[in-house]
Amino acid sequence: MCQSHPYRDDARRRASFLPQTEVFLHRTNEMKLLEREPGVRYIADAADVGRLIEDCISAGSRAALLHADNLPRKFFDVSSGQAGQILQKLRTYRVRLAVVAPKDRHVTSTRFGDMVAEERRSGQFALFETREAAAAWLVTGEHEAIRG
What CATH number labels 6-140? 3.30.750
Are 70 and 38 within 8 A, CB to CB?
A: yes
**Cβ atoms of residues 86 and 66 within 8 Å:** no
Q: How far apart are CA 136 and CA 7, in angstroms?
A: 32
Is 69 in contact with 38 (CB distance < 8 Å)? yes
pLDDT at 23 over 60: no
* pLDDT of res. 55: 93
Backbone angles phi, psi at 67, to 5 degrees: -105, 155
pLDDT tens for each residue of 98-118: 999 988 777 677 788 888 888
Of 106, 90, 43, 46, which Cα lies nearest the Cα of 70? 43
Averaged pLDDT of the chain: 79
pLDDT band at 86 (very low <50, low <70, confident <90, very high): very high
Give this prediction's pTM: 0.76
